[in-house]
Amino acid sequence: MPGKDDGGSDKEKNLELFLKVGLDERTAKNTIANNKVTANLTAVIHEAAVTDGCSRTVGNLLYTVATKHPANALLHRPTLVQYIVSSKIKTPAQLEAAFSFFATTGPENFKLSEFEEACGVGVEVSVEEIKQTVNEVFEENKTAILEQRYRTNVGDLFAHVRKRHPWADPKIVKQFIDEKLHELLGERTAADSEKVPKKKKEKPAKVEEKAIAVSTPEQPSEEVLNPFLIFPQPEENIKVHTSVFFSDGSILRCCNTKELLEKHLSVTGGKVLTRFPPEPNGYLHIGHAKVNILMCSRLDSLSVVVPHIITVIFGQAMFIDFGLAKERGGGCYLRFDDTNPEAEKKEYIDHIQEIVKWMGWKPYKITYTSDYFQDLYDLAVELIRRGHAYVDHQTPDDIKEYREKKMNSPWRDRPIAESLKLFEDMRRGLIEEGKATLRMKQDMQSDNFNMYDLIAYRIKFTPHPHAGDKWCIYPSYDYAHCIVDSLENITHSLCTLEFETRRASYYWLLHALGIYQPYVWEYSRLNISNTVMSKRKLNRLVTEKWVDGWDDPRLMTLAGLRRRGVTSTAINAFVRGIGITRSDCSMIHLSRLEYHIREELNKTAPRSIAVLHPLKVVITNLEAKTTMDLEARKWPDAQTDDASAFYKVPFSNTVYIERSDFRLKDSKDYFGLAPGKSVLLRYAFPIKCTDVILADDKETVLEIRAEYDPTKKTKPKGVLHWVAEPSPGVDPLKVEIRLFDRLFLSENPAELDDWLADLNPQSKVVIPDAYAVPSLRGAVVGDTFQFERLGYFSVDKDSTPEKLVFNRTVTLRDSYHKGGK
């Protein structure tokens, strides 16, 4: 990998180049931050031969080419670039027309005459013609312009002119429109700048019968309704996937041949096939914490293995991989990438399968990369025969040094026959572990470090849990995953944007072997506010005991979210709601996930009652031995004739309310209980405070005395939740409540130097002695409830027969600002 200094030097050179072609400094710097656009724009500038500079107009058009040129017609890009440099195409309108032409044409040949006609090449619209057309448009719309004055939509006027003269210079059109507006309306007045007040909707007259409200929400776009529309159909997989730029100036345009695609479609029947490819890894065991599900990072085979559990990011990956297949009537493989024999453990495979099932997905097939070890070996031999791989004897340190210096290995050009023999010796176990690897012969001088002769095979004298002791050489991820994608006839190989630089290696290898190439598409990795998603940071939180294990309900791990009470339905709805995008810098506020959690639990969690901080209330006009069984609703819309929609709550002369629902001093905006004031106990009776028992400090309230209104004629504004003694002298059901909140105070703690100092000290608050209604006694782990006025809660696995433990999943309302806290 290039050193940091090399990377900084390349950025400075590219910035200088982009400024030379007329980009403003801000656009140039933003471009540098995007590796793909940087690579595209650099290639376009070289194709245009304007490395010494050009006009701002030409430079802006070239920038548009770099960002918008149709991917299926990249081989025609040099032609378009030459038309721009020669000023045959000189307006954005002409360029958009060119894009439309090439998007339709694809990689096929075309007639220049048809291209020029479609793009208005050679069509000159005189200043007089533009002026005359602007005058005609103003005359046709004069009445509306005079009425709206400077509030007139100039864009509409512009569109009228462009419809008649699509190739007119937009700057000249704008100039004449502005002049004509001033000529017709005169100077802008103060009234022209005033905002038009919105008309208030008139309230409909009250009628005796209640009208049924009919909401007509704005219709969402097709992409929102179906985020998978962005993906092409399998039969379209003949277009150019990507361009691989080599250091010698050559370019590889990767796409399937007609024969390869037809063979693929004959096998699949045109069905969409995707894959979810986790790598099970059992390296991490920390203290007594049970590691539920681990995944190995996709690092180079020489890198250190860094394990991490499945985070909500994998929920996103599952939704996209399984969701696309389901939406198109296809199938998604659950493929365990078990290329490291020391890593796989059955317990982790079982956990992954269980999580996939919990998330609501059913695999098309469950496979293992090891199922294809023989195919992978045979293709490696073929790769050597074709001159695209060699056996190397460099040590890991040597490889690292040579990559940094962009130098070829001393064994890179050894004879093919010699590499074939040595690779066979590797397979037979005749070469010591660490003494040889098989490397792909890619491009050590490339600007993409993922083309630095990646390792295809390494020696490991370790039996494989799935394949047995047949093999002592094992394929790397970089070699295996793309080939297995091809062997399984995967139509859409989907991954996060950090793998984008590996696309060149992916297609290079499939092209070198002459086998089918799936469609690769990268999406932005999910970033959620007030938490960290980095596997290393998560690892540190757990190992240093900042949290209570990998399934701590505060972590954005699927195990943690499930323990907190979040449903898979809510997670999938959240992922669907944010869409499938390539915007790599987006931060999704945690409140968006919480919204989907509330939406789901509001429909599925029955209502119940708990009191977190009990304050005793003795009802003096109710006999001590009296206990009434009252009915409480499990659902707000419960029908009175549906007995299952209600549960019993005991009401006695000793009840408990929230300590925060009582004040010694009343006020107009306070609806709780106060001396001499009445409130309604939910599902029960109004009560009025008649006396207060204070501690010796004359401030702490020990007990309240009250009277209840059995006739219910009193109509207080405040309604309180409560729990009563089920029988005289018997305490209500005692439970432990855990209140969880955002783990970090800042929206993006990962960008802080001392990110651990940003941990929220109130992210977990334990209330050991809360009270709950008796009906909760039979709740089991995973049951969810809405505790009225408090939030949604789930029974935790720490519960015992003696004492239930409830985790707060989410509050009833977002207590943070809309923009996050």
Host H or E run for residue 391:
strand 389-392
573: which residues sit within 8 A by CB, 6+ positions away? 596, 599, 600
CB 309 within 8 A of CB 557: yes
Phi, then psi, of 96 in degrees rounded to 5: -60, -40
| 257/255 Cα distance (integer angstroms) | 7
599 is catalytic: no
Instruction: State the virtual CA torsion across 138, 143, 147, 153 in degrees, nearest 10.
Output: -40
How many helices and strands, by DSSP H and E, does the chain display? Answer: 25, 29
Q: Which of 180, 326, 535, 563 is catalytic?
A: 535
At 821 the three-state DSSP class reads coil
Q: Is 505 exposed, middle or buried (0-12, 13-18, 19+ CB in 10 A)?
A: buried
CA distances from 366 to 352, 369, 600, 632, 705 (A): 11, 10, 30, 47, 66
Host H or E run for residue 650:
strand 646-652
Q: What sign has the CA pseudo-torsion 568, 569, 575, 576? A: positive
CA distances from 717 to 92, 609, 663, 665, 668 (A): 64, 20, 16, 17, 11
279 is catalytic: yes
CB 337 within 8 A of CB 370: no
β-partners of residue 785 are 793
Q: Letter for the amino acid at 485?
A: D
At 624 the three-state DSSP class reads coil
Contacts 24+ apart (CB under 8 A), 563-566: 563/794, 563/796, 563/797, 563/807, 564/740, 564/794, 564/807, 564/809, 565/601, 565/782, 565/784, 565/792, 565/793, 565/794, 565/807, 565/809, 566/597, 566/809
| 169/757 Cα distance (integer angstroms) | 57
Q: Which of 149, 162, 174, 525 is catalytic?
A: 525
Q: Which of 279, 488, 658, 725 is catalytic?
A: 279
406 is catalytic: no
Active site residues: 279, 525, 535
